[in-house]
C-alpha cells in the first residue's frame, strides 16, 4: 500500500512511518518541522536527542534497506498539498500534522487562532486534494478522545442512537471539548463527515487517547532513529511527563484532585492501530469513527504508579497537587467504548511497571538535557489575553 504520513517527523508520526515501512508499505512523509520550531519558541526540547528528518530517513535506508520519501512543506499551503498528493498518489493518507497541545492553544488569542487555522485549513486542503486527485484514497485522520469531553453517560464510538419525542435516529455523539485545540479536532470531524456525505470520501476518524511510552522496535533499533520525548508544561503529556519529573528530582505535578480520567494508549499500539485502519478501509462515503485507546486511568493513579516504580530505582519523587490551571472536571463519570480496533485485531500493550521503569531509565539517562523551568504549568485557561 502507498501511505502518505503527514506529520511524519512528530512523536506519533515518525514511529508510524517506520512501522509501516517495516511492514512493506511504501511510505512518504510530509511535514514542515513546525513542532521543532515550537520547542524553540517555548525554550524547551525533546528529552531524547532527535536527528533531523533527512538524517533519520537516510539511516533507516542504511539499516533496513527500505526507502521513505519525504517533502517538507506546510499543509495550509494548498499548492504543496496538491503537489504531494498528485506526485505520490496515496492509497491511504494518514493525517497527524496538527498543532496538538491544549495548553499551547490556550496561551493567548494568537495561539488559539494559529491552532485553529493550522489544523482546520490543513485538513480542508487534504480533503480537497484527495477528493479531486485520488478519490479512492482512504483518509485516516487523528482526532482525540477529548472531542467528547466528560459526559455523565457512556461514550460511544462516534455515534449515539437517540429516541426523542417518539422518533429515533443515530447521530454524531455530542462534543464537549476542553480547549481551543480540542475544538479544532471537532471542527475537523464535522468537515470530514460532510465531505464523506457530499463527495463520497472514505474516512476514519481515530479519536485517540493520551499516548504514553516513547520507543517502538524500529525507533529503538538505532540512536539516530530515536523518537521524541516531550516533558515540558505545554507539550509534555501525563505519564511521560511524570516520568521525566521523577527521574530529574522534580515534583510529580497532579493538577487539582487528580480524579480527571482519560483514555490512554501505548505508542506501540498507536502504530498498529494505524496499520489496522489502513488495511481495513472505510467504504466510499463512510465517516467511520474509532476510539483509539486501550485503558482508562485517572491522573492521580498514574502519578502514584510512577512514584512507586521510581522508588525501586532509588528516586524519591514527591507527588504534589497543584492548583489546576485548566477548567475541567476533577471528579466525574467516565466510561468510553473502544471495541472496534480490538475487533480488527489490536492486541493491546497494557500499562505495567516494566513500561514505567523503561521510561524512567530513558529519562534518567537524558536528565542533563532537561530544562526544569519548563515543568511548571504556565498557561491559565481562565484568563483571555489579547496578543
Among 94, 97, 137, 254, binds ligand USQ (CB under 6 A): 254
Q: Does 206 bind ligand USQ (CB under 6 A)?
A: no
Angle (nearest 5°) at CA 56 between 271 and 347: 15
Binding map of ligand NAD across residues 137-166, x = CB under 6 A, - = no contact: -----x-x----------------------
Selection from 298, 296, 278, 291 nearest residue 340 by Cα: 291
Grid-cell match 453517560, residue found: 153
Q: In whole angstroms, how close is the CB of 145 to ligand USQ at the nearest point?
A: 3
Per the annotation, the verdict on 104 as an active-site residue is no
Q: Would you say 117 and 30 are in contact if contact means Cβ atoms under 8 Å apart?
A: no
Element (H, E) at 202: strand 202-208
Tell me the number of residues near ligand USQ by CB under 6 A: 20
The entry of ligand NAD, ligand USQ, none near residue 46 (CB within 5 to 8 angstroms by kind) is none
**Cβ neighbours of residue 55 closer than 8 Å, sequence gap 6 or more:** 224
Catalytic residue among 70, 141, 185, 270: 185
Neighbour-count burial of 198, counting CB atoms closer than 10 A to its CB (0-12 exposed, 13-18 middle, 19+ buried): exposed
Per the annotation, the verdict on 181 as an active-site residue is yes
Among 19, 255, 287, 290, binds ligand USQ (CB under 6 A): 255
Q: Would you say 230 and 237 are in contact if contact means Cβ atoms under 8 Å apart?
A: yes
206 vs 294: CA distance, rounded Å:
13
Per the annotation, the verdict on 144 as an active-site residue is yes
Q: In whole angstroms, how close is the CB of 211 to ligand USQ at the nearest point?
A: 7
Choose the stretch contacting ligand NAD; rule: CB under 6 A; options: 3-11, 106-114, 315-323, 336-344: 3-11
Q: In whole angstroms, how close is the CB of 205 to ligand NAD at the nearest point?
A: 11
Q: Does 210 bind ligand NAD (CB under 6 A)?
A: yes
**Cβ neighbours of residue 155 closer than 8 Å, sequence gap 6 or more:** 145, 148, 173, 291, 334, 335, 336, 337
Among 4, 5, 9, 25, binds ligand NAD (CB under 6 A): 9
Joined grid coordinates for residue 378: 504556565
Among 46, 105, 260, 366, binds ligand USQ (CB under 6 A): 260
R_g of the chain, CA atoms, integer Å: 20
DSSP string, 13-60: HHHHHHHHHHTT-EEEEEE--HHHHHHHHHT---SS----HHHHHHHH
Q: Would you say 345 and 277 are in contact if contact means Cβ atoms under 8 Å apart?
A: no
**Cβ neighbours of residue 359 closer than 8 Å, sequence gap 6 or more:** 212, 213, 214, 239, 240, 243
Among 11, 70, 88, 255, binds ligand NAD (CB under 6 A): 11
Q: Between 244 and 315, whose beta carbon lies closer to ligand NAD? A: 244
226-245 positions binding ligand USQ, by CB under 6 A: 237-238, 241
Q: In whole angstroms, how close is the CB of 210 to ligand NAD at the nearest point?
A: 5
Binding map of ligand NAD across residues 15-34, x = CB under 6 A, - = no contact: ----------------xxxx
The entry of ligand USQ, ligand NAD, none near residue 263 (CB within 5 to 8 angstroms by kind) is ligand USQ
Grid-cell match 510529580, residue found: 252
Joined grid coordinates for residue 351: 500499562
- 267: phi > 0 → left, psi -120 to 50 → alpha, else beta; which? alpha
Among 20, 120, 145, 201, binds ligand USQ (CB under 6 A): 145
Q: Between 270 and 366, whose beta carbon lies closer to ligand NAD? A: 270
32-91 positions binding ligand NAD, by CB under 6 A: 32-35, 74-76
The entry of ligand USQ, ligand NAD, none near residue 158 (CB within 5 to 8 angstroms by kind) is none
298 vs 260: CA distance, rounded Å:
5
| Binding stretches for ligand NAD (CB under 6 A) | 7, 9-13, 31-35, 74-76, 96-100, 118, 122, 142, 144, 208, 210-211, 237
| Binding stretches for ligand USQ (CB under 6 A) | 100-102, 144-146, 209-210, 237-238, 241, 253-255, 260, 262-263, 299, 326, 328
What is the set of active-site residues? 144, 181, 185
Amino acid at each position: 500500500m502507498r501511505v502518505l504520513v503527514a506529520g511524519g517527523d512528530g512523536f506519533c508520526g515518525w514511529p508510524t512511518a517506520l512501522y509501516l515501512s517495516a511492514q512493506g508499505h511504501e511510505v512518504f512523509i510530509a511535514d514542515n518541522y513546525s513542532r521543532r520550531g515550537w520547542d524553540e519558541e517555548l525554550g524547551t526540547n525533546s528529552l531524547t536527542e532527535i536527528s533531523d528528518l533527512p538524517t533519520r530517513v537516510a539511516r533507516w535506508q542504511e539499516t533496513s534497506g527500505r526507502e521513505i520519501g519525504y517533502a517538507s512543506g506546510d499543509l495550509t499551503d494548498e499548492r504543496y498539498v496538491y503537489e504531494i498528493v498528485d506526485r505520490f498518489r496515496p492509497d491511504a493518507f494518514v493525517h497527524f500534522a496538527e498543532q496538538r497541545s491544549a495548553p499551547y492553544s490556550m496561551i493567548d488569542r494568537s495561539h488559539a487562532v494559529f491552532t485553529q487555522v493550522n489544523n482546520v485549513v490543513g485538513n480542508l486542503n487534504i480533503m480537497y486534494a484527495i477528493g479531486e486527485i485520488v478519490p479512492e484514497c482512504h483518509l485516516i485522520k487523528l482526532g482525540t478522545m477529548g472531542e467528547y469531553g466528560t459526559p455523565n453517560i457512556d461514550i460511544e464510538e462516534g455515534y449515539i442512537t437517540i429516541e426523542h419525542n417518539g422518533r429515533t435516529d443515530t447521530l454524531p455523539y455530542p462534543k464537549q471539548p476542553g480547549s481551543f485545540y480540542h475544538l479544532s479536532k471537532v471542527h475537523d470531524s464535522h468537515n470530514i463527515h460532510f465531505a464523506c456525505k457530499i463527495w463520497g470520501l472514505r474516512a476514519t476518524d481515530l479519536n485517540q487517547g493520551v499516548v504514553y511510552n516513547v520507543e517502538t522496535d524500529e525507533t529503538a533499533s538505532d540512536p539516530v532513529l530515536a523518537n521524541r520525548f516531550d516533558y515540558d508544561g505545554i507539550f509534555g503529556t501525563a505519564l511521560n511527563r511524570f516520568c521525566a519529573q521523577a527521574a530529574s528530582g522534580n515534583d510529580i505535578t497532579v493538577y487539582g484532585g487528580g480524579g480527571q480520567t482519560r483514555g490512554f494508549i501505548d505508542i506501540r499500539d498507536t502504530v498498529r492501530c494505524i496499520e489496522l485502519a489502513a488495511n481495513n478501509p472505510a467504504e466510499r462515503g463512510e465517516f467511520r469513527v474509532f476510539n483509539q485507546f486501550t485503558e482508562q486511568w485517572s491522573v492521580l493513579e498514574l502519578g502514584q504508579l510512577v512514584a512507586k516504580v521510581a522508588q525501586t530505582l532509588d528516586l524519591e519523587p514527591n507527588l504534589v497537587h497543584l492548583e489546576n490551571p485548566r477548567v475541567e472536571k476533577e471528579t466525574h463519570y467516565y466510561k468510553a467504548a473502544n471495541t472496534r480496533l480490538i475487533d480488527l485485531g489490536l492486541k493491546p500493550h497494557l500499562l505495567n511497571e516494566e513500561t514505567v521503569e523503561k521510561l524512567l531509565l530513558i529519562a534518567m539517562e537524558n536528565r542533563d538535557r532537561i530544562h526544569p523551568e519548563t515543568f511548571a504549568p504556565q498557561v491559565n485557561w481562565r484568563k483571555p489575553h489579547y496578543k
